[in-house]
């Protein structure tokens, strides 16, 4: 089955700096890679996703890059703000149906 590793487990950044979270996956058949943000006490919510036929996707301050050959994908947050503080999860999903394998999560703390 799919195995997803996520690094780092915690990330502390100064407001305005960039944050990068990296994930690797094992199943070359995986073709959908979402990123979820979970604020304290809330449900996970999708912030950006990418499919395997695309190398990069951007949405305002958030971007995701995918390297299929190396089987890794990354989340980039630019100009971080205190409201970016949360736990971020990556996931990988094969094409046949929607079973995700989630990474262990990254706690991001943005200090003013």
Partner 1 sequence: NAGVTQTPKFQVLKTGQSMTLQCAQDMNHNSMYWYRQDPGMGLRLIYYSASEGTTDKGEVPNGYNVSRLNKREFSLRLESAAPSQTSVYFCASSEYNNEQFFGPGTRLTVL
Q: Which of residues 79-108 bind partner 1 (CB under 8 A)?
A: 89, 93-100, 102-105
Nearer CB in complex with partner 1: 9/81: 9
Minimum CB separation from partner 1 for residue 79, in Å?
25
* E-assigned strand segments in 1-112: 4-7, 10-14, 19-25, 32-38, 45-51, 56-59, 62-67, 72-77, 86-92, 101-102, 106-111
Q: Which of residues 4-63 bind partner 1 (CB under 8 A)?
A: 31-32, 34, 42-46, 49
Minimum CB separation from partner 1 for residue 16, in Å?
27
Nearer CB in complex with partner 1: 62/78: 62
98's tokens: 């929607």
**Applying CB under 8 A, does 73 fall inside the site for partner 1?**
no
- Dihedrals φ, ψ of 84, to 5°? -80, -10
Contact 101, 2 (CB under 8 A): yes
Minimum CB separation from partner 1 for residue 63, in Å?
18
């Amino acid at each position: 089955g799919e195995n997803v590793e996520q690094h780092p487990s915690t990330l502390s950044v100064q407001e305005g700096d960039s944050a990068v979270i990296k994930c690797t996956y094992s199943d070359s058949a995986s073709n959908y890679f979402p990123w979820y943000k979970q604020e304290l006490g809330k449900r996970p919510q999708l912030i950006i996703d990418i499919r395997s036929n695309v190398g990069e996707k951007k949405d305002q301050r958030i971007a995701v890059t995918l390297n299929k050959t190396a089987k890794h994908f990354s989340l980039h947050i630019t100009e971080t703000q205190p409201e970016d503080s949360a736990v971020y999860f990556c996931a990988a999903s094969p094409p046949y149906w929607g079973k995700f394998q989630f990474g262990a999560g990254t706690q991001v703390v943005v200090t003013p």
